[in-house]
Structure 1
Amino acid sequence: MRVALLRADPKLSRFDPLPRIISHDAFADGHCGWSQLVGNYEDDLDTMLPGYAQHTSAMLSTLAHWDAGSHGGMGSSYALKIATRPRKGAQNVAIKRHTFRHRGKIRFETYFTFKPEAAELKLSETDVRSIGFLFDLQAGDTDAGAERVMPHLRFLNALDGKHVQKWQFKHRTTEFKPIGKTDKTLSHYHLAPDDWEDLPGGTQRLCYNEIPTKVNWTYLRFDFDLDTMKALDFQCNDRVFDMSGFESIRMPAMKNLWCMLNFALFAETDTDRRAFLYVDSVCISGDF
């Protein structure tokens, strides 16, 4: 009965959710809780680390373009648009913040596409450096040896103008820095360009159409166990990848982030032109 109900709903039948759907974000309904990743600050916004200061708010977009009007989303007129600034190496991040009530399997599914700003009459297939996602997780306040755990995955599309096309992860972050003068706030920019490692067997060629305004939607699924705090499975389109060599960023638990269950999506440009990550919809589900 459950399978029949899911398949009867066009918005949900495109996903393979676990038994409990925690959130289903179709951006025709609005931002659905996805907002700008604002860095920590105290007393003055200028105390924010530079990596975070470059971020801007995600937008709702019809995927407008100059040669034929608008694409719209995959299932409606709108998608979430995460756009970088027009500066080589610039990044932008959208985040959705939850807490969890059960330490079990969590599944993140999305349909996405990416493009550079179509400012020239050529393909520009190496203008987007990377797109990706991350979780920001922390154990409960009564857990022994509690950690903050941050799995990161990115698709490195290009680097310094050369097509790369492979998935990478990172398990090291930058040094924590105190923010302000009260010893209450720390910050680290975990999306710094250093320390990315290749996912074993992670080379993949994604669909990137023949002119700079065309898009094709791509499916992504990532499974993670909140009990063991380990990645279980990763799929992009028809490829399922071996996650045995994958590691997450780990650090001691922080004093006010208990049961944190955050999800983030990001884009990065390889040229002085904006990179766009468009997200049609997101389904987050669990085994509880």
Structure 2
Amino acid sequence: MAGALQRQDPKLGRFDPLPRILVHDDFDRGFCGWTQLVGNYEHSLDSMLPGYSQHTSPMLSTLGHWDAGSHGGVDGSYALKLATRPRAGAQNVSIKRLTFRRRGPIRLEAYFTFKPEASALRLSETDVRAFGFLFDLQVGDRAGAGGERVMPHVRFLNAEGGAHVQKWQFKRQRVPVNPIGTEGKTISHYHLAPEGWEDLAEGQQSLCYNEIPTKVNWHYLCFDFDLETMACTGFRCNDRFFDVSGFDSLRLPAMKNLWCMLNLAFFIETDTDKRSFGYLDGICLSEGV
């Protein structure tokens, strides 16, 4: 009965959640807890790693465009917008910070789209470098010294160096962890650096990209992860189900103040000296019971 009622709900019917819904973010209701990913600092903002200093806050957007007005969201007026700076390789990240109450299966579902700033009368299909998402997870405090901080990363590499690539990738390579400040309480690492991405098995996918630079089409993604085993159990985008048997996450020793962390982030990266935009409308995070 619950499943039948959910399928009739115009907001939830486009998702396939696990039995308990933890998050259902429709940005017609506002930001829903999504915010700028601010880098760690101590005593001075200048101590922040450079990768984080480029980030700006997400925006609520009607997907306005110059030739016909606004697209709006999937089923309402607003979507969450991430915008890069107009510099090749620039990134922006939006994050939602949570904690978990049980270790078990979780499922992320979202509707997304991306496009470059429509500043030229040409398709510009290779101006966006990448769009992706990540979790930042850590075990509970009872795990002790053997616990891990686990960070599954997934991106759609759309283009690189002006050439279309169109494939899904993951990242498990650790990056340097830097001490921040002088008190020994804060560290930082820029885990979205361009190095270390690996191709997902048979991860090539051509996404719908409409005929002029102001048009968008929404895409569906679904990512399954088990907090008990800290392993990815499934990934799909639109009609494609991908082999995740070779998938792994970036792993670090547990940190002393991040127990039961369940952070979720989305990011966008540009390939040209032009702003790129990532949009989200409808994010559902659910868990098994």
Which bracket does the TM-score occupy, shorter chain normalised? over 0.9
What is residue 140 of structure 2 aligned with on the other side?
140
Distance 2:7 2:51 in 1: 42
Corresponding residue for 2:180?
Answer: 179
In the alignment, structure 1 residue 155 sits paired with structure 2 residue 156:
yes
Q: Deviations over 1:81-117 (max 9, x none)?
A: 0010000000000000110011000000000000000
- Tell me if the contact between 1:106 and 1:224 (Cα under 8 Å) persists in the aligned partners: yes
Please state if 1:129 is matched with 2:126: no
Name the structure 2 match of 1:268.
Answer: 269
Tell me, yes or no, if structure 1 residue 83 matches structure 2 residue 83.
Answer: yes
Q: Distance in 2 between matches of 1:25 and 1:157?
A: 26
Shift of 1:3: 1.1
Q: Does 1:192 align with 2:164?
A: no
2:55 aligned with 1:55: yes
Considering only aligned residues, what root-mean-square deviation do their CA atoms show, in Å? 0.6
Structure 2 SS opposite 1:12: coil
How far off its partner does 1:7 sit?
1.1
| 8 Å CA contact retained: 1:72, 1:78 | yes
Deviant stretches of 4+, over 3 Å:
none
Q: Which runs of 5+ in 2 are unaligned?
A: none
| Corresponding residue number in structure 1 for 2:31 | 31
Secondary structure at the residue paired with 2:235? strand
Deviation, structure 1 residue 174 = 1.5
Letter in 2 for 1:153: V
* TM-score with structure 2 setting the length: 0.99
- 8 Å CA contact 1:123–1:210 kept in 2: the answer is yes
The answer to whether the aligner puts 1:9 opposite 2:15 as a matched pair is: no
Deviation at 1:172, TM superposition (A): 1.2
The CA distance in 2 between the partners of 1:2 and 1:241, in whole Å, is 29
**What SS class does the counterpart of residue 155 from structure 2 fall into?**
strand
- 1:57 is paired with a residue whose SS is coil
Q: 1:39-70 CA deviation, whole Å, 9 max, x = no partner? A: 00001111000000000000000000000000
Preserved CA contact (<8 Å) 1:173 1:189: no
C-alpha separation in 1, matches of 2:188 and 2:224: 27
CA offsets per residue over residues 15-43 of structure 1, 9 Å max, x none? Answer: 00000000100000000001000000001
Show the counterpart of 1:257. Answer: 258
The alpha-carbon deviation at position 4 of structure 1 amounts to 1.3
Taking the TM superposition and a 5 Å limit, the aligned residue runs for 1:227-246 are 227-246=228-247
Alpha-carbon offset, residue 247 of structure 1: 0.8
When the two structures are aligned, how many residues end up with a matched partner? Answer: 288
Equivalent in the alignment of 1:215: 216
For the residue of structure 2 that corresponds to 1:172, the secondary structure is: coil
Contact 1:64–1:70 (Cα < 8 Å) also in 2 = yes
What is the distance in 2 between the residues matched to 1:131 and 1:23?
21
Q: Distance in 1 between matches of 2:4 and 2:170?
A: 36
Asked whether the equivalents of residues 173 and 188 of structure 1 are also in contact (C-alpha less than 8 Å), the reply is: no
C-alpha displacement at 1:198, in angstroms?
Answer: 0.4
1:285 aligned partner = 286
